[in-house]
Amino acid sequence: MSLSQFRLDGKVALITGGNRGIGLAVAQIFGEAGAKSVLTARRSNPEGDALLRDAGYEFDFVSADATDPETPERIVQHTLDRFGRIDILVNNAGVAVHGDTPDFDDERLEKIISTNVVQVFRFSRAALPAMRNQGEGVILNVGSMSGMATNIPQNQVAYNGSKAAVHMMTKSLASEFAAENIRVNAVAPGYIDTDMSRGGFSNPDWDPVWRRQTPMGRYGTAEEVANCVLFLCSPAASYVTGSVLLIDGGYLTR
Ligand code: NDP
């Protein structure tokens, strides 16, 4: 038994959506825990880069659209070329789109499914051969409380379905690769204070309802999610695979 099991010294992580929000918080805690990281998202974030650089963490940012079919193979190869291995894949990139189902057009449906589901599969598929060759690896998917229960807005059928798919892919991958020492887990955040919950997706009327319905009475922070991601990706969680860890301030205790 040692606290060093919570560290990631010498590990190499690939974090999608690593430029802001939960992904950036994961990059920060991974850096502090001793990992080297490749971060990817469509846009760069100079402030996020500066945070990581000033802290002395070793990382690369690669700009790419995760929904492009060629992106996952390319970014995994970049990670292998840059750092020689890939120990941890954090499938974090995601989008939230809501809308009444009868009016929910194919463009929005395609955006949700390609970003939240298809690229999770493709990044996992791209990273698994290297993990297999190494004889170990960890995949961590960012699902959602919305993949387990409905909440407001009620018109989130595609998003909720996409996150339920992430949870089930997590369990299926965990089962398929457990014997090869590759662990696969997910976190299911509740309301977390990021651009996603603050931004165009959100609605000021929902804010007090979300807070009221959360027993802890507040949003979670990206750092609180990242702490759980660190645990699940660290050797301390060596017997945990196929789990979906709720991080919801008690929301689903109701
Ligand atoms: P943000 O909106 O802050 O971050 C979303 C991230 O995904 C950004 O880094 C964004 O970068 C990236 N991304 C989106 N689309 C693409 C794309 N096509 N290609 C590459 N990167 C993409 O939100 P969060 O940090 O909150 O979200 C992170 C994850 O957490 C998501 O999967 C989300 O569904 C999940 N989640 C969030 C909750 C919350 O309350 N905030 C609750 C439950 C789950 P860029 O736009 O530059 O490409």
Q: What distance in Å separates the CA atoms of residue 88 and residue 86, rounded to the nearest whole number?
A: 6
Could you tell which of 159, 196, 213, 246 is best to mutate to test the pocket of ligand 1, judged by most ligand atoms within 8 Å of the CB? 196
pLDDT of residue 199: 66
Environment class of 89 (CB within 10 Å of its CB; exposed 0-12, middle 13-18, buried 19+): buried
Domain annotation covers residue 236: yes
Domain annotation covers residue 253: no
What value of ipTM does the predicted structure carry?
Answer: 0.99
Amino acid letter, residue 168: M
Cα 52 to the center of its chain, rounded Å: 18
Total domain count for the chain?
1
pLDDT of residue 201: 52
Domain annotation covers residue 206: yes
- What is the span of the domain harbouring residue 47? 3-248
| Token representation of residue 180 | 């090869």
Given the CA of residue 222, which atom of ligand 1 is nearest to it?
25
| Token representation of residue 103 | 């009016």
Could you tell which of 29, 194, 223 is best to mutate to test the pocket of ligand 1, judged by most ligand atoms within 8 Å of the CB? 194
Residues with CB under 6 A from ligand 1: 17, 19-23, 41-43, 65-67, 92-96, 115, 142, 144, 189, 191-192, 194-197
Amino acid letter, residue 104: F
pLDDT of residue 202: 59
pLDDT in tens, 4-32: 999 999 999 999 999 999 999 999 999 99
Domain annotation covers residue 173: yes
Domain annotation covers residue 122: yes
pLDDT of residue 254: 81
pLDDT of residue 226: 99
Regions in the chain scoring below 50 on pLDDT: 200
CA of residue 179 to ligand 1 center, whole Å: 31
CA of residue 5 to ligand 1 center, whole Å: 28
Q: In CATH, what number is assigned to the domain containing residue 116?
A: 3.40.50.720
CA of residue 2 to ligand 1 center, whole Å: 33
CA of residue 129 to ligand 1 center, whole Å: 26
Q: Whose CA is nearest to atom 39 of ligand 1?
A: 192
pLDDT of residue 39: 98
Give which of 232, 151, 149, 144 is closest to 196, Cα–Cα: 144
Phi and psi angles of residue 58, each rounded to the nearest 5 degrees, phi first: -90, 120
